[in-house]
Structure 1
């Protein structure tokens, strides 16, 4: 039985923490056989696509088109399309075609439309080796197909999603329900995606949000090529992803799927920059294009990758870490900008332990703390940039074991990297003063199309003599996530005059903001006032949660 979305992350991490990282079994357990074509060892035929091609237009699919990318599949690769009924069974509608240059799939002339399993089988460009694969490979996607409406792409992430749909639709879940209420959250939790996988593209820029997720596709596709993942291993990974409901309930069974997942995560985390740079260079050489260079993306992945790769991140605590006289460096992955607290627990006194938080191993301390007679060390670091890696160095003059190391968010966003809001309900967080450190401001950007929006903020402690919070709303003319014009460098929406200030002593605030011409131009700044001044605890890190509801009017 599938679970509530609110339980996804917690349950997933429990399952993965128990799963461990050192499975050595080679059993598969893969039952993904419907409509498959096994890999072959034939040499790819020569084709015009073996030579570098000149880029023409942006590769965002046009109506009736999609792209097949492992790297890109070779010109002339077989594409089969099988119609699906609402319960996931085959409808009897079938169609086939071949890919064009850059792996393009044209669905013109299909003669029918609806939900379908799209299977691409052939030779692909290995973005790490820089050559065409000697073996054929198969990738799948479940999506609506049409000769006149936008279709989508076939890639590594759609292959995982395809087996998930195929497994759960016969159990009474609709395609739309699985896509919107479950799978999107799982792919965000596991791989840091906020864009549907069929919208991602390895060869071109679509828009800033899609490009950041295409970076993740490029990273994991390159990692997959680097470790030499086979068809059997990928199918076993997809099978385990589906059968365990993305890790919930039963742990992933030891075997081919979990082993492939561990290797993939470790390769992506340990060699991210090298993999992406090499892949982009090889794609550029072969096709005359690649997706643009964007900021590192793997740090947006949640606790799954932390458990497997030994990183400290907000949703992935580390356990039983030995500490001695030789410094121990622990990489720290920060998803979103803001203030963070670090809590290190010991079984006994923390006396003699020294903790240094820095940008790189051995770098200058951003914050440091020393152990005392208590059983924990706790400190705050602020503000940290999002989507990047930091380092926690631990040392001790006597051997000790950190029983648990936790990273937790205290506030959200900064002036230059505001936390993204969506239409609907958003979980907010703002910190309190911690000793002499101010930790009382959270910054937000609404990621939505142009229009007028109503914001309702509430759920924080109230009833004091001072207004608990002050909220400022901004209608700025730029998207701060995009490069700013030269004459606007150094500006941000929060150093301009706000369009709205809500400072009344109330348990909730509501106001409206508008930008009718461009998306992603509305911003919020929430500052803790009354709750900050009346509830200070100088000994522990504290924050308060609230809700930001966004409605389009």
Structure 2
């Protein structure tokens, strides 16, 4: 009897070992010759550090990391020859940025995040929308929603906070505040509304608080946060923001293609503060 049990145990261990080895053999290596994009609040400054973490399908970090720096004052980064076992990644950027509301560079650093499936793309931008949606996307994926559906749902929920709706909105990591188009205009409008006249510390706190609030159900339940958005947005000067952005991109030698963001700020104020 003991001999039979011993043989059975050996057989089970053999099967498990074979299965484990087989999984390793079947692990597909994804090679990205290049992954590049822009880090933007306003554009981040040269020298900003970035860290890319590989994620598994449940959006947990696998331990594989890639680090780099922004290479110019447009917020450009580029990594080459990435070897990944999963197409899901998180990008974290820490640095100084150009404040489009004041027309000055920030006095302190802020941190922005992005989650993306880079299976079929070599572009991954980082901005306030990618940052706000991060916790909500993680929550939805944990609830068994696919990554792509989680991204779409989180985007629509965030747009609703700012009295905006656009069913065919591009993925957040493809948006660019210095390119034409309504999707990019929405990004710049929301970026400016969030900035308001806040310090870097206040902006970081606001981003973190909104992200935490919407993570469970996709709704901004904290009325103080909602009020703080409109209380500063109504004093924004759209003409000055455009001039600041135009001047900045001219100054750093970039092509100026600022989208028509003004109507979205005006819409947010009109609906949020009808009186």
Shorter-chain TM-score range: 0.7 to 0.9
Q: 1:281 to 1:89 in 2, by over 3 A?
A: same
- Superposition map of 1:209-358 within 5 A: 211-228=181-198, 229-247=202-220, 252-253=221-222, 258-271=223-236, 273-274=238-239, 276-288=241-253, 289-292=255-258, 294=260, 296-298=262-264, 309-311=272-274, 330=275
User: Comparing both structures, which one devotes a greater share of its residues to helix?
Assistant: 2
The corresponding residue for 2:44 is 73
The corresponding residue for 1:119 is 92
| Secondary structure in 2 matching 1:143 | strand
1:106, distance to aligned residue in structure 2 (A): 1.1
The corresponding residue for 1:133 is 106
The corresponding residue for 1:202 is 177
Please list every run of 5 or more consecutive structure 2 residues that lacks an aligned counterpart in the other structure.
1-32
User: CA–CA distance in 1 between the matches of 2:48 and 2:147?
Assistant: 27
1:273, distance to aligned residue in structure 2 (A): 2.3
1:96, distance to aligned residue in structure 2 (A): 1.1
Q: Which has the larger radius of gyration?
A: 1
| Secondary structure in 2 matching 1:218 | helix
Q: 1:278 to 1:262 in 2, by over 3 A?
A: farther
User: CA–CA distance in 2 between the matches of 1:236 and 1:187?
Assistant: 13
CA deviation profile, 1:389-411 (whole Å, cap 9, x unmatched): xxxxxxxxxxxxxxxxxxxxxxx
The corresponding residue for 2:82 is 110
1:270, distance to aligned residue in structure 2 (A): 4.8
| Secondary structure in 2 matching 1:157 | helix
Equivalent of residue 161 in structure 1, options 111, 115, 133? 133
TM-score scaled by length of structure 1 = 0.38
User: CA–CA distance in 2 between the matches of 1:223 and 1:166?
Assistant: 25
| Secondary structure in 2 matching 1:111 | strand
Q: Is the Cα–Cα contact under 8 Å of residues 269 and 298 in structure 1 kept in the other structure?
A: no
Which structure has more RCO (C-alpha within 8 Å, separation ≥ 6)?
2
The corresponding residue for 1:94 is 65
Q: 1:280 to 1:118 in 2, by over 3 A?
A: same
User: CA–CA distance in 2 between the matches of 1:164 and 1:78?
Assistant: 25
| Secondary structure in 2 matching 1:110 | strand
- Superposition map of 1:465-544 within 5 A: none
1:300, distance to aligned residue in structure 2 (A): 8.8
Name the stretch that deviates more: 124-133 or 268-277: 268-277
Q: Is the Cα–Cα contact under 8 Å of residues 55 and 62 in structure 2 kept in the other structure?
A: yes
Q: Is the Cα–Cα contact under 8 Å of residues 117 and 162 in structure 1 kept in the other structure?
A: no
Q: 1:244 to 1:295 in 2, by over 3 A?
A: closer
User: Comparing both structures, which one devotes a greater share of its residues to strand?
Assistant: 1
Please list every run of 5 or more consecutive structure 1 residues that lacks an aligned counterpart in the other structure.
1-61, 206-210, 312-329, 331-553
Q: Is the Cα–Cα contact under 8 Å of residues 79 and 98 in structure 1 kept in the other structure?
A: yes
Q: 1:167 to 1:118 in 2, by over 3 A?
A: same
Q: 1:80 to 1:245 in 2, by over 3 A?
A: same
CA deviation profile, 1:262-281 (whole Å, cap 9, x unmatched): 32234335535245334423
TM-score scaled by length of structure 2 = 0.73
